[in-house]
Structure formats: structure tokens, C-alpha cells
């Protein structure tokens, strides 16, 4: 449902276009002149602009210029009873899609509108594809091709088409905000504000003011009236990240705002009506929070109408190479480094890591690797070494707490020797069968061979492993 702005100082023309376009299923806003149109354009985004050229005070060309300055993707159709070649050339120079003389034929106008919107959609798809790394499957900018993520991709457009509030759950770093933005961008509210507030980062004493605003003098330090984020998100989407962090007192006011679609500013007496869709996210189990009395049950059910569960990265390991390559290209461009790929050994290390920090942690690892890598391929030594040595450290800790010598120690040397000892013990236990030794250590055969070579053990204990033949 495209949103069209119609600008004409002739009332009958505005009303005619409004009725015609609304009947065809478009969302229509009208402006009685150029000044009003520019005000609307500065406050909102429209898919299509239809404007008369000759208007008093502010003409259609000025409206077109301002629209293209603020919203380059908005497509524009110019209409005029005083057509001239110079005016048409000027309009096309500023990015108008077409120029129709008055009076125009209804069928011709409808066809031009359809063609203009189709052209805009095709251009946006091409630009989106051009921005994405080649060969990396994406959906609304979200990278993934696993079965778990395909389920999310299938769910997003259905959620976007609904009007209900949404709950997104998942561990930190799984991409909850990215999915929330995708839902907003695919909804009828696209082009309206997407406002984010991290409930865990706002102090308890400021949360009410942050959400609902306050009147001048409402509390010490309130030197001016200030609007809150609910008001800022009017007609758009309010994303409440880490919703479980808000206090019971704020939960009560939030419940009222959700139920009544209106609220009062801090220190105010007037009710402010808002049209806001709420998407909330949390890394906690809210049902448990409700059972233990830390989260209101009525608010939980008000906000948890549609649920999107985000899988942790360890449950969609097949997406790790895709994500890693995407981040590699991103940071390679940013740092002006010609690093084209990640070595097979390095990928093995990543695929065998548990990623407690999920996608955010993987991005940090790749960013650091690109910064440190001196060659044109990411090697294991450029990865954060503690990630794949964590298993050995945990094994050592399970046997008893390690004691730091009084004079300190060389940690890399200590861990390297520990890794070498485990490799040798695994080979001894499996009588030289490297495939079985790798399985015993919980790593891939390729990674096992790389580590043997790193410690000068590649030529040792070669017998008894049929998987290496050929």
C-alpha cells in the first residue's frame, strides 16, 4: 500500500485525486500548497509525490527539490496546465519520473502511477542486491540460509502485515533488533519512525521521562517540557529492548499506555493519544519472571501477542561461514584491506566454537582478525586464540584450579604446551588413528592435522589411520 502525497492549490483537483487514488487502494495525504507540502515532507516519508507546478508562494519545483533532498527514493510526478519545455527539463533534472499536462486522462494517470511505483521498487531491489556481498544469502539485510533462519524469514512478512504487538526472544547477540527493524520495514508503518530504547541502559529514575516525557518543572532539573519516545514513535514502531529490566512502577504506566493508546507526561494532566506498534525483546525467560513476581502478568500477555524466537548461533552453525564472509567483506572494505577469504583451518575453528556471544561475538572476532591479518587470507593465528583454546583451559580447570606461579608465566607458551600434550595423548590413546584422535578432542580432522603441523608433530604416529589414504 503505497503512500502518496498530492499537492495542488486547486481544491477540486485535490479532492478528485484523493478519491481516485483511495479507491485504487493507495494511502493518500493532500496538501493545499507548496508550503504545507514541504512541512509534510520534512515530517514524513512518501512513496510517491504528485504535485502541481504553478502554485502561489512555493511552486511545485521547489517542493520537488526539497523532497529529493530529504527523500531521494521518493518518486515524483509533475502536473501542470501551463506546460513548457523548460519547466519539464528542470523537473526531470531534479529527478521527476514524469510530467503530465492538465487536463489528463484518468487511465493515463493511473498507468503512470503504476509504472512509477514499479520502477521505484525495481530500483530499490537492485540497489539492495548491489549492497550485499555476492553469493551471500540475505533477507532484509539478515544473513542466513539455515533451516532455523528460513523459518524466521517466513515469519517476518506475516508478522509485519499484522497490527499486533510482538515479542522477540533470544540470547544477547542473536540479532533481535535487526529482525525488529525488518518487521517495521515490511509493515505499513515503513517510512514512519522506528524508535529504539534499551531498557537496561536507562537509569530507573529517568525511564518514565524517557518513555513518556515530562512537563517543565515536573521534577528538579526539568527546565523545559520534553517529549518522550512514545510520542516520537507516533504512527511508527517503538522497539523496547531488554523489556524485563523495567521496574514494576514503569510496568504499570506502560500497561496503561498499551491498553488505552494514550498517556500523561510526567507532571502533566492532559492525555496524549498515540498510534504506536510495540516490538519488545528480551534475553530472559519472561514466563519465569512473571511466576517470580518481577514482571506483571497482564503486561506480559498484552505485549506477547506474536512471538519470534531467535536461535543462538550454535544452533545454526551452517550460517557461520556465510556470516564470517559477510563480516570479512565489510571490514575489509572499511580498513581498505584486500583480504578475500578465511582459510579452511580458521573456518573449522569457528565452526567448532560455541559462540556464547552469538553473531555479535563472531563479528567482533572477524573485525579483529581483519585488523591483525598481514596476508590476504585469514589464518587461525589471527583469530582470537582464546576462543579455540577455551576447551583445553576448561579441561585443565576441571582437573583442579591452576595456580599462577609467584613470578607469573607466559600464558601462550603454557597453553601451547598443554595443546601439544593433549595431541600426543590423543594419538597414544588411539594408537595413531588421527581421525579417532580428532574425535576424542572434539575437533575436525582438518583442524587436528593443522595443530599437529603447528607443533611439529605431523610426521609422528602416522600409522593406523585409514581416513588419510588418498
Can you state the percent helix, strand and coil of the chain, rounding each to 5?
50, 15, 35
Domain ranges of the chain: 3-129, 151-309, 314-383, 404-468
Strands (E), 175-253: 194-198, 237-241
Tens of pLDDT, residues 422-446: 888 888 788 788 888 888 888 888 7
CATH (residue range 3-129): 3.40.50.2300
Q: Which fold has domain 404-468?
A: Arc Repressor Mutant, subunit A (1.10.10)
pLDDT score for 169: 93
For the chain, give the mean pLDDT: 82
pLDDT score for 391: 44
Helices (H) and strands (E) in the chain, counts: 19, 16
Q: Which fold has domain 151-309?
A: Rossmann fold (3.40.50)
Q: Do domains 3-129 and 151-309 have the same CATH topology?
A: yes
> pTM here?
0.56
The answer, yes or no, to whether residue 86 has pLDDT greater than 50, is yes
Q: How confident is the model at residue 379 (pLDDT cuts 50, 70, 90)?
A: confident
Beta bridge partners, 280, equal 167, 240
Q: How confident is the model at residue 402 (pLDDT cuts 50, 70, 90)?
A: low
Strand, coil or helix: 47: coil
Q: Which fold has domain 314-383?
A: Helicase, Ruva Protein; domain 3 (1.10.8)
Tens of pLDDT, residues 312-332: 998 998 999 999 999 998 998
Beta bridge partners, 273, equal 262
Report, as an integer, the average pLDDT of 456-465.
53
Q: Which residue has the cell 550454535?
A: 314
pLDDT score for 40: 93
Secondary structure (DSSP) of 396-465: HHHHS-----TT---HHHHHHHHHHHHHHHHHHHTTT-HHHHHHHHTS-HHHHHHHHHHTT-TTSS-TT-
CA distances from 181 to 95, 137, 196, 250, 334 (A): 28, 18, 10, 24, 24
pLDDT score for 408: 64
Amino acid at each position: 500500500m503505497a503512500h502518496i502525497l498530492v499537492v495542488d492549490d486547486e481544491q477540486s483537483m485535490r479532492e478528485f485525486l484523493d478519491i481516485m487514488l483511495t479507491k485504487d487502494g493507495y494511502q493518500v495525504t493532500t496538501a493545499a500548497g507548496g508550503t504545507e507540502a514541504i512541512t509534510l515532507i520534512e515530517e514524513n516519508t512518501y512513496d510517491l509525490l504528485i504535485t502541481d507546478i504553478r502554485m502561489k508562494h512555493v511552486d511545485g519545483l521547489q517542493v520537488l527539490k526539497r523532497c529529493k533532498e530529504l527523500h531521494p527514493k521518493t518518486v515524483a510526478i509533475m502536473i501542470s496546465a501551463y506546460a513548457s519545455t523548460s519547466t519539464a527539463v528542470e523537473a526531470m533534472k531534479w529527478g521527476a519520473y514524469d510530467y503530465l499536462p492538465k487536463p489528463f486522462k484518468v487511465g493515463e494517470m493511473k498507468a503512470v502511477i503504476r509504472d512509477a511505483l514499479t520502477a521505484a521498487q525495481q530500483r530499490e531491489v537492485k540497489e539492495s542486491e548491489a549492497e550485499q556481498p555476492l553469493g551471500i544469502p540475505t533477507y532484509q539485510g539478515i544473513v542466513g540460509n539455515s533451516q532455523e533462519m528460513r523459518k524466521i524469514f517466513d515469519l517476518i512478512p506475516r508478522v509485519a502485515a499484522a497490527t499486533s504487538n510482538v515479542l522477540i526472544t533470544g540470547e544477547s547477540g542473536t540479532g533481535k533488533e535487526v529482525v525488529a527493524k525488518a518487521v517495521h520495514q515490511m509493515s505499513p508503518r515503513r517510512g514512519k519512525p522506528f524508535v529504539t530504547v534499551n531498557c537496561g541502559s536507562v537509569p530507573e529514575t529517568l525511564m518514565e521521562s524517557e518513555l513518556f516525557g515530562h512537563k517543565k518543572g515536573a521534577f528538579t532539573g526539568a527546565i523545559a517540557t520534553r517529549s518522550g519516545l512514545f510520542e516520537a514513535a507516533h504512527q511508527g514502531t517503538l522497539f523496547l529492548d531488554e523489556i524485563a529490566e523495567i521496574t514494576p512502577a514503569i510496568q504499570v504506566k506502560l500497561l496503561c499506555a498499551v491498553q488505552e493508546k494514550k498517556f500523561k507526561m510526567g507532571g502533566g494532566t492532559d492525555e496524549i493519544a498515540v498510534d504506536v506498534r510495540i516490538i519488545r525483546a528480551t534475553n530472559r525467560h519472561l514466563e519465569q519472571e512473571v511466576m517470580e513476581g518481577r514482571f506483571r502478568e497482564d503486561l506480559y500477555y498484552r505485549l506477547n501477542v506474536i512471538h519470534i524466537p531467535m536461535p543462538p548461533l550454535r544452533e545454526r552453525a551452517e550460517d557461520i561461514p556465510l556470516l564470517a564472509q559477510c563480516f570479512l567483506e565489510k571490514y575489509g572494505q572499511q580498513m581498505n584491506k584486500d583480504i578475500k577469504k578465511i582459510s579452511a583451518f580458521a573456518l573449522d575453528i569457528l565452526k567448532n566454537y560455541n559462540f556464547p556471544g552469538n553473531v555479535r561475538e563472531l563479528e567482533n572476532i572477524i573485525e579483529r582478525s581483519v585488523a591483525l591479518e598481514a596476508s590476504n587470507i585469514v589464518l587461525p593465528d589471527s583469530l582470537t586464540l582464546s576462543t579455540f583454546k577455551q576447551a583445553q583451559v576448561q579441561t585443565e580447570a576441571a582437573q583442579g584450579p591452576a595456580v599462577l606461579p609467584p613470578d607469573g608465566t607466559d600464558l601462550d607458551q603454557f597453553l601451547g604446551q598443554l595443546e601439544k600434550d593433549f595431541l600426543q595423548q590423543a594419538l597414544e590413546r588411539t594408537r595413531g588413528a588421527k581421525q579417532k584422535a580428532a574425535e576424542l578432542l572434539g575437533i575436525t580432522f582438518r583442524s587436528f592435522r593443522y595443530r599437529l603441523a603447528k607443533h611439529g608433530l605431523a610426521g609422528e604416529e602416522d600409522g593406523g589411520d585409514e581416513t588419510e589414504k588418498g
